[in-house]
Amino acid sequence: MDSDVSSKPASAAKAWIILAAAVLMAAPFVVLALRTGEASPATAGMAWIPGGEFTMGSDKADEKHAEEAPGHAVAVKGFWMDITEVTNAQFKAFVDATGYVTDAEKDLDPRQFPNAPAEMLKGGSLLFKKVSGVNPFQCGGGNLPWWNFTAGANWQHPDGAGSSIKDRMNFPVICVTYKDAQAYAKWAGKRLPTEAEWEFAARGGLKDKPYVWGDEERPNGKIMCNHWQGKFPERDSGADGFTYVAPVKSFPPNGYGLYDMAGNVWEMCEDWYGTEYYKVSPKDGPTGPVIGHDPEKTGYGQHVIRGGSWLCDEGYCFRYRATARQGLDTLTSTNHAGFRCVSDQPAPAKK
């Protein structure tokens, strides 16, 4: 009995000593991490993007990519950015913690869409399917035959009902909408990047380069991102190693340590999409047009997506370039668009 009584304070004291020793041992590493500007827990998996002035967009844009012109001076403040696209594992953690249900998992309200056929009101996403004998340049607007609304396709079942992400936890989450991306960002204590922040970060410290890695599309013959090789939308040779979404970090990072800023999946930005916005954009911290309504395409507006995807070929899309931009219908989820987040946590201490 005596030994029991005396051992309790003794073991408690021992535990405290071990704890204190652990804290003391860890302290130098914490101090070192702060000094060298490494991420704190709030910025784990993120890189500090220092901010600065740059030329956003390009004066060299051809008529197929006129929305990238004109090149114009923009300044952004420093911020943290996820080094990868948000993965299925990360998105699952959010859903597990909150019970969040994505847009693609919900049926639409027929009162809200009285003219839509019943099959279009089921929850689902747009999935890409190869099509033969089509000239993509002759397609446009709502007539893109390689997109198929697939009921039952959502982030957990990205190839449709019965498919699974079990073996794709390090792939970017897809089949989510802008609203889903915003909800994730809020839960994570982060936000979506503005389009200007995204482009500044994508350039990785390089100046006026067409690609996020430099001047040449294939330096020394090497394909630098996950995109489409071959005749779109018919045949993808997969010369880059992938004919679908790739796991994040499958290609080298840019100058800021960010992966897949070109290709893999398009990345949603906070801004509404405006094809003419660069003509009127302010210089300091632009946040996009007030209304991104594009009546040619949709009545519901579009948000900016950046970086291109595994579906971008060299001839038709060609949007795995630093200045490329596109709009995505705000209510639409697809299997070529995801997102990454940024954070306004304090800048790392100077070395």
Residues that bind Ca ion (CB under 5 A): 226, 240, 242, 260, 264, 307
d(CA 11, CA 346): 41
- Residue closer to Ca ion by CB (options 78, 253) is 253
* Shortest separation between residue 148's beta carbon and Ca ion, angstroms: 20
- Residue closer to Ca ion by CB (options 67, 260) is 260
Residues recorded for the chain: 351
Contacts of 295 (CB under 8 A, 6+ apart): none
* Shortest separation between residue 305's beta carbon and Ca ion, angstroms: 9
Contact (Cβ atoms closer than 8 angstroms) between residue 230 and residue 312: no
- Residue closer to Ca ion by CB (options 105, 323) is 323
Six-digit token pair at 53? 């002035």
* Shortest separation between residue 123's beta carbon and Ca ion, angstroms: 25
Residue type, 84: T
- Residue closer to Ca ion by CB (options 50, 230) is 230
- Residue closer to Ca ion by CB (options 94, 242) is 242
Nearest residue to 226 via CA among 209, 243, 202, 211: 243
- Residue closer to Ca ion by CB (options 61, 312) is 312
Contacts of 296 (CB under 8 A, 6+ apart): 141
* Shortest separation between residue 103's beta carbon and Ca ion, angstroms: 21
* Shortest separation between residue 114's beta carbon and Ca ion, angstroms: 37
* Shortest separation between residue 177's beta carbon and Ca ion, angstroms: 17
* Shortest separation between residue 129's beta carbon and Ca ion, angstroms: 16
- Residue closer to Ca ion by CB (options 199, 260) is 260
* Shortest separation between residue 328's beta carbon and Ca ion, angstroms: 13
Q: CA dist 159 to 9, 96, 129, Å?
A: 59, 21, 10
d(CA 224, CA 260): 9
SS3 call for 80: strand
How would DSSP label each residue in 188-233?
TT-BPPPHHHHHHHHTTT-SS-SBTTBS-SSGGG---S----SSTT
* Shortest separation between residue 235's beta carbon and Ca ion, angstroms: 12
Pairing of β 266-272 and β 337-338:
parallel
Contacts of 186 (CB under 8 A, 6+ apart): none
Beginning with the edge strand found earlier in the chain, give each strand of the sheet holding 337-338 in spatial order.
325-329, 302-306, 266-272, 337-338
- Residue closer to Ca ion by CB (options 95, 305) is 305
d(CA 62, CA 68): 9
* Shortest separation between residue 340's beta carbon and Ca ion, angstroms: 8
d(CA 302, CA 284): 23
- Residue closer to Ca ion by CB (options 105, 240) is 240
- Residue closer to Ca ion by CB (options 72, 321) is 321
**233, exposed or middle or buried, with CB in 10 Å at 0-12, 13-18, 19+?**
buried
